[in-house]
Amino acid sequence: MQMSALTSKELLELENNSLYLILDINYFNDKQIDVYNNIICNDWVPLFCNTPYDGNLDVSPIIIKLESNNEILLEKAKNKIAGIVLNSNLALDELQQKLAYMLTVESDIKKEGICLLRFYSPITASYLIKKQPEYFGKDIKETFTPSYSRLSWNHSLLKNSSDNYKLKIDDSFRANLKNQRMAYYLGYYEKWKKISNTIIYDSATSLVKLIESGKYNKKEYKEWENLILSFPELLKHNYWIHLTSQNTSFTEKWKEACFLVDSIKQNQGFKYD
């Protein structure tokens, strides 16, 4: 998988592409003005059409065949992290049938059974692209998801896809989704917008581990966030990875973290990966 960053304008200028925006309309307060007025000249179809969820067509995401004049719509989708873009040679109705099939997955928890997978959410799509790109199948060659900072689109080339790939919801899936959700949360704030996607994601992973390993108040959480932001060299260090999972008090863990920062700065006593 190869990745690069594009603006909405650059995305629409790509040659030899059939681009489709899968847009979650529920992110918009005024759907008529923000969505439907911008797709008067577009072909589109509800994703839930002819699926077990077609009783909820009024809240269904929609699949829009993009045209060169849809930059404003793409910007709104990116800024609200309300959708993803796919490149596929399939016609609109064929793509809808394929994506409709992808909506339903099996959970490893028996009482959950069959679940609706919101693969069209940038949070979920970012995980799938990173960890299980085969899920998109052989007819989808490229994906575009909003960057964590909402400043650009992450462009991914998918390889080795298979229409027979089966996705199952398990603990690893849930854990990775928590990391992606935290990464998009961080990227919303101005102080993170100049930070790379890789560092934002690694920071999010550390913060999720810290939150799950101890009960921190808002002030303590912010101190962890600011420490990571000011010294991201921590993120790949063996001892930091160990420390984030330890069930110790904030004071004790903070003291060790500060000692680690000083040790790294002095290049003493610890080894990197």
pLDDT in tens, 27-52: 999 999 999 999 999 999 999 999 99
Contact 180, 127 (CB under 8 A): yes
pLDDT value, residue 4: 83
pLDDT band of 107, cuts 50, 70, 90:
confident
Contact 135, 127 (CB under 8 A): no
* pLDDT higher than threshold 50 for residue 272: no
pLDDT band of 269, cuts 50, 70, 90:
very low
pLDDT value, residue 40: 92
pLDDT value, residue 61: 97
Residue written as tokens 């009960």? 215
pLDDT value, residue 253: 94
The pTM is what? 0.91
Which residues does residue 3 pair with via DSSP β-bridges, in sequence order? Answer: 156
pLDDT digits (tens, 9 = 90+) for 156-213: 988 766 666 778 788 899 999 999 999 999 999 999 999 999 999 999 999 999 999 8
Residues in the chain, overall count: 273
H helix intervals, the chain: 8-12, 31-34, 71-79, 92-102, 122-131, 171-187, 197-213, 218-230, 238-244, 250-266
Q: What is the mean pLDDT of residues 62-73?
A: 96
